[in-house]
C-alpha cells in the first residue's frame, strides 16, 4: 500500500483530511508515546478519513453502487469465461485476461471507495433466460455478449457523469474507468466482427450497429449540443454517428442487465 499516494489522493478530494489526520495523529502520539504509534495511528486514522473522503454525497454513493453492480457482472463474466475449458482460443487469451484483470480492479476500487456502503455481490445468470445458453461453450456467443457488456458499460458510465458533478474527484475516477470500458468495447467489437463475420461491426459504433439491438438504441443520434449535424464537414451520417457515443439512463441499463441479475 502506497500510503503517501493514497493520502495525497485523499487530500485532493478532501482538503481538510490532512489537517484532521495530523490532529488525530498528534493526539495518538500524546496519548500513546511509544514505538507502536506509527503502526497504530496510520490505519485507524486512515479508515475514518477514507469514509469521509468518498461518501461525499448520497447521490455519489448511489452512482458508485450502480457502477459496482455492473463491474461485478463483468468481473464474474470474465472469470467464468477465462476459466472455461476450450472456450477462448489461445490467440485471444491475453485479450480477455487483460479485460478480466481490469474488471477485477474496478470492483476492488469501488468496494474500497464505498467501504461499508458497498452493496453485496449479486448472483448472476449469464445465459440471459436462455438467450445466451451456450455463452461459456461457444466462443461466438461469448464474444458477442462481451462486446454487448462493454458497450453497455460505456453507455452506463457516460449516463452518470452529470450526477457526479458535485463530486469532482469521483467524477474523474468514473471518467477514467469509462474510457477503459471503451477500449475494451473497441477490442471486443472487432473480435466479434471477425468471429461472427459481420464486417459492418467496427471498433466504433456505426449508426446502432451492435450484436444486441436493445443495447444500441439511440446510438444513431445525429443531434449534438442541440444542433443537427447532418452534412457536417461533408461527412456521412455513418461517420457522424461513429464520432459520438451515446449515454443510457440507469433505468435503461438495468432493464438490459436485469435478466443477467438473479438477485
Partner 1 sequence: MNRPINAKNSSGKKEEEIASVVNRRLFLRSAGLATSLGTIVISAACSDDDPDPMIPGTGDAVDLGSGDIGVLNYAYALEQLEAAFYEQVIKTPYAGITDAEKTILTDIRDHEVVHRDFFKAALGDKAIKGLTPNFATIDFSKRDAVLGAAKLFEDTGVAAYNGAGKLLKDSGYLLLAGKIVSVEARHAAVIRDLINPKSADFAGDDVLNTDGMDKAVAPADILAAVKGYVTDNITGANVGK
Nearest to partner 1 of 129, 236 (CB atom): 236
| Minimum distance from residue 191 beta carbon to partner 1 (Å) | 9
The values of phi and psi at residue 142, to 5°, are: -60, -50
Nearest to partner 1 of 41, 149 (CB atom): 149
Nearest to partner 1 of 124, 204 (CB atom): 204
| Minimum distance from residue 13 beta carbon to partner 1 (Å) | 11
CA distances from 220 to 59, 103, 205, 207, 238 (A): 30, 28, 8, 4, 8
| Minimum distance from residue 146 beta carbon to partner 1 (Å) | 13
Q: How many CB atoms lie within 10 A of CB 168?
A: 12
CA distances from 245 to 77, 81, 213, 228, 241 (A): 24, 27, 15, 15, 8
| Minimum distance from residue 3 beta carbon to partner 1 (Å) | 15
| Minimum distance from residue 27 beta carbon to partner 1 (Å) | 32
Residue 127 Cα to chain centre, angstroms:
21
Contact predicate 147/77, CB 8 Å:
no
Nearest to partner 1 of 128, 204 (CB atom): 204
Residues contributing to the site for partner 1 (CB under 8 A): 91-92, 94-95, 97-99, 101-106, 108-109, 154, 157-158, 161-162, 165, 168-169, 171-173, 175-187, 190, 202-204, 224-225, 227, 229, 232-233, 235-236, 239-240, 242-247
Q: Which value, in Å, is the radius of gyration of the alpha carbons in the chain? A: 22
Nearest to partner 1 of 6, 37 (CB atom): 6
Amino acid at each position: 500500500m502506497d500510503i503517501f499516494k493514497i493520502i495525497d489522493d485523499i487530500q485532493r478530494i478532501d482538503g481538510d483530511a490532512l489537517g484532521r489526520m495530523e490532529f488525530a495523529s498528534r493526539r495518538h502520539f500524546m496519548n500513546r508515546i511509544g514505538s507502536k504509534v506509527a503502526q497504530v495511528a496510520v490505519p485507524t486514522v486512515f479508515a475514518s478519513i477514507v469514509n469521509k473522503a468518498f461518501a461525499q454525497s448520497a447521490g455519489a454513493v448511489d452512482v458508485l453502487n450502480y457502477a459496482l453492480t455492473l463491474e461485478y457482472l463483468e468481473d464474474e463474466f470474465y472469470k467464468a469465461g477465462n476459466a472455461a475449458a476450450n472456450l477462448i482460443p489461445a490467440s485471444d487469451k491475453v485479450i480477455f485476461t487483460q479485460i478480466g484483470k481490469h474488471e477485477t480492479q474496478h470492483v476492488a476500487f469501488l468496494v474500497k471507495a464505498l467501504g461499508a456502503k458497498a452493496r453485496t455481490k449479486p448472483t448472476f445468470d449469464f445465459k440471459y433466460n436462455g438467450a445466451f445458453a451456450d455463452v461459456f461453450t461457444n466462443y461466438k456467443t461469448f464474444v458477442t455478449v462481451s462486446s454487448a457488456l462493454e458497450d453497455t458499460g460505456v453507455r452506463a458510465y457516460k449516463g452518470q457523469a452529470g450526477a457526479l458533478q458535485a463530486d469532482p474527484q469521483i467524477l474523474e475516477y468514473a471518467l477514467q474507468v469509462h474510457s477503459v470500458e471503451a477500449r475494451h468495447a473497441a477490442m471486443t467489437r472487432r473480435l466479434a466482427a471477425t468471429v461472427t463475420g459481420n464486417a459492418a461491426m467496427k471498433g466504433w459504433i456505426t449508426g446502432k450497429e451492435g450484436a444486441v439491438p436493445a443495447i444500441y438504441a439511440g446510438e444513431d443520434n445525429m443531434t449534438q449540443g442541440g444542433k443537427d449535424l447532418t452534412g457536417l464537414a461533408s461527412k456521412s451520417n455513418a461517420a457522424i454517428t461513429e464520432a459520438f457515443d451515446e449515454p443510457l439512463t440507469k433505468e435503461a441499463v438495468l432493464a438490459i442487465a436485469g435478466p443477467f441479475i438473479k438477485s
